Structure 1
Amino acid sequence: MSAEQIAFQVTYTSVESGDGSDPTSAVERILAGERVLAAVREFDGDAVIALIPVTEGGDVVALDAEGRLRFDLSESALVALFADEGLTLHLGYADDGLDDVDAALEEEFGEAFEQLDEPTDEPDDLNGFGMPSDADDLELFEAEPVRVAEFSRRAVWAARLTAQLLDTDVDYLEDGTWSVYRYRTDRVHGAISGGRADGPIIEVNIPQHGDAWVEVTSPHGRSAMFWPNAEQHTRPVLDIDTIGMPESAELYRRMLTEADGTREELASLAMGDAVDVDAAMGACLSETLGGVVGADARLRAFVGAFGVPASLIRAGLDEQDAGRRVVARGWGPTVGGIVLGGLVEMTPLTRRDRPVARLARLLRKRPVLGMSLSTAELAAGVALSRSRSGLGRGIGILLVIDAVADIAIWIVRILRRR
C-alpha cells in the first residue's frame, strides 16, 4: 500500500511507569525497536506523551527493515510490549474498555455530580466523593489570572468596554496600523470587535502555569485556537534521514509537522496572504524538526506571522512599555468616554487617513471650530423645523437633536482641555 493510500489518525496517548519514574528512554526504545512512525514529548512528572499513527482497522503504522510501510503490529500487541516492560500504554480502548472506564467514573464520582446539579448544595456536601474537603483544597479549583495581549486594528474604544466588562485595567498601545490591549483577568473573556476593519484579532493568553495559547479571529469572523508551544519538545523516535524509502520518510515528516492541525486551522481562517503560513507553521513546529527555538520566541514568531510589528509584539508581551491606561469606572462613564472619544477613537487604525477620520482629528484639536460647526447645524435644524413640509420638519428636528448633543460634547471637551 502506498503512502498516498493510507488512512490513519495520529493518536496522542500517555505512557506511565508503575513506580512513577521517567519512562522516556524505555518508550523510545520500544517504539524505535518496532520502527513505529511515532514521536514522544518530554516527561511531565506523571507520564510521557506519545504520538502514534493508527489505521482505521486498529493497526499501528510502522516500517520494515527496508523502510517500507508495514501494518502487522496491532494496538493490543504494542500495548503488550509496553506491559512487558512494566509500562502502561493508554492506547486502543475497545468499546467494552470504554464502558469499563465510564462505569468506574460513575461509581466514584456519579453521586457527587448529581449533587452539583442541586443549587442548594454546599461544597461540604460533596465530601467523601473525591471532592476537596477544606478551604485550602478548594483554592486549587479557583481560576488563575491570565495575562492577555490582544493585537488588532482597533482604536481605544473597545479597550474601554473590555476594562468595564472584566473589571480590570487595560493598557493601550499602538504602532502604525496595529494596536495592542494588555490586561490580566481570571474571567472568561473574548475579544470585542466592531467589524471586519478591526481584524484580525490575535489574542495571546499566557497563564501562570502551563502553555500559552492564541485565539485568532479573522476579519470574516472565523476563529481558531493555536498552541505554539505544544509540540516544542516533541521529537521523532526514528531518524528521518536514515529511512531508505523516500515515500515513507516524507509520510513520517508530514505526520510530525501536521499532526497538531495547525495548517488546517490557519486555512479555516480564510485570510489568504494576510498571514504567512510558513512562518506560523515554523512557530508551532517541533524544535528538533527546525521549528523556532524557545517558548517565548515561538509566541512572538506566531504573532508576527500575521504582520504585527515586532516592536508592538515586544511591548505587548514584555509589559515594559507604558501605554494609555484605561480603567473600569462604571457603565455610565464608560459609555460617556466612548461618546466623547467620537470618530477619533472609533475609527479602525487602517482607516485613519480617510477624509472623515482626518476631519474628526482636526476638529478634535480645534474644539472651538467644532463647536462653531455644531452651532451652525443647530441653526439649520431650527430653520428646517419651521418648514411647511413634514419631511423638512422631521429632518430639522433630527438636526437639532444631533447638534445639541454635539454641542454638549464639545463643551465637555473644551472644559477638559483647561
Structure 2
Amino acid sequence: MLIAAMDDGRLISLVSPDFTRSELNLLRNRKRFYCPVCRSPVRLRLGSKKKWHFSHHPKYPCIIETEPESTAHLSGKEDLFQWTKANGRTPELEHYIPEIHQRPDIYLPGIHPIALEYQCSTISEEKLHARTCGYMSVGIRPIWILGGARQKKIRCLARLSGFESQTIQFSNRNAPSHPFFSPYYVSYYYPAEKRICFAGHLHPVSKTMYITQEINHMIPSARPHQLIMPALPFSPESFKQDWADCKRRYRLSVPSHLSREEYWLRQQAYRLRMNYSGFPSFVGLPHRDYIHFSLPPCLWQMWIYFVMTHSPPDLWLTPDMLMRTGKIGGTETVFLRRSLPLCPKRSLAGVIKTYLEQLVKLNKAEGKEGAYRFRASRIAGDLPLDQLLKQDRLVLDSLERVHGQMNK
C-alpha cells in the first residue's frame, strides 16, 4: 500500500518525490493516517530495506483482501506508475472501485479504462479469475503483469503454472499472414533491471509448457500501449525447429510420470493395438487457436486420429460428434477448455474443425457439408521412427506452403 489519507482528509502518496524521510517522520509524529478505502488506521513504514509504505494494523484489517507486498512488488508498482505518468497518462495509485470492492495497483482512467495489476506473489486461480471478471463486469480492461522472478524458461519453452496461464492476453495488432503466428502473450516486469519482457507467440506443448519467442524493452523506451498491442516479431524457421524438437522429445522420451489423460490415451492405444509413439506426423499440428484446449495438440489430436481411424470408412464425423467422444471420467475429457479470461472465446467444436481442415489441406482427409473422414489410401501404416521424425518437420513445411498458395 503506497497511498493513505491523513486525519485532515488529504491523500498522501509515497511514490511522490515531494517528501523526504525527515518530512515524513515529522508527519508520522504529528498526523494519523487512514486507509482511503476502509478508513481503518494504517502505519507509515520508513525502513531502509524496503520501499516506504503504509500497512494496516493487525487489529484493523482492510475490507479488501490483499496479499503482503514484497520489495519487488512495491518497487515495480512505483516504476509502472511513474512510467505511465511520464507517457501522458493520468494514473491513479490503488484507486478503489466500490462497485466490485477491488483496488488495482494502478488505474488508468479514460474512455476505455484499464486496471494494471503487477503480480509477484502466488494467488489461487479462482481468485485471479474472480478479480479479472470483476474488472470486466464494470467495463475496465485488466492487464496482469507478472513479476520477473515468476518467469521460468527452458530453452525456447516457457512454463506457466497455476494462475499464470490466466494472465495470457490476446493482441489485436495486425498480424502477418502465417499459419503459425500466434497473438497470445504474457507480460513480465523486472524492477531491478527496469525491463519489460513480452513472451509471445505462445503454442502449448503440454498443460503448462509453451513454445515462445520473446522481446524485451527497457522501460524508458517502452510505451503503455504496448501492454495491449506489443510488436512481437515472429521467426517461422525458429518456430518450426522448436516444434519439431518438442515432438521428437515426445516420441523418444520414456515418461517417468504420466498425466491422467496421457495414461488414458496410452490405454486406448494398447486396446486398439496401435503404436502410441508411432503416431503419424499430422498428429500434433500447431495453430494459434489450439491454446484454447487444456491438453496439448499431440494428445487431443491423437484421440481424433484413433476415432477416425477405427470408424467405418463410410462414416462422416462432425466436430460436434468428435466432441462427444474422449470421455475420461465423469466430467473429464480430452477436449477440456483452458481458462483464458483475458482472451476472446473460441468454440471448441470450431477449434476441432480448424484441425480437420488442416488435414484436408494436407490431403489426409476429405470434408463434405461440415463432416469429415480420412482418405484411407492416404493413411500410412507404422513407419520407422527416423522417417517419422523427418516427416514431423516436413508436414510443417507443407502446411506453410499450402497456406501461402491459398493467400496469393
Normalising by structure 2, report the TM-score: 0.25
| Higher Rg of the two aligned structures | 1
**Greater fraction helix:** 1
Normalising by structure 1, report the TM-score: 0.25
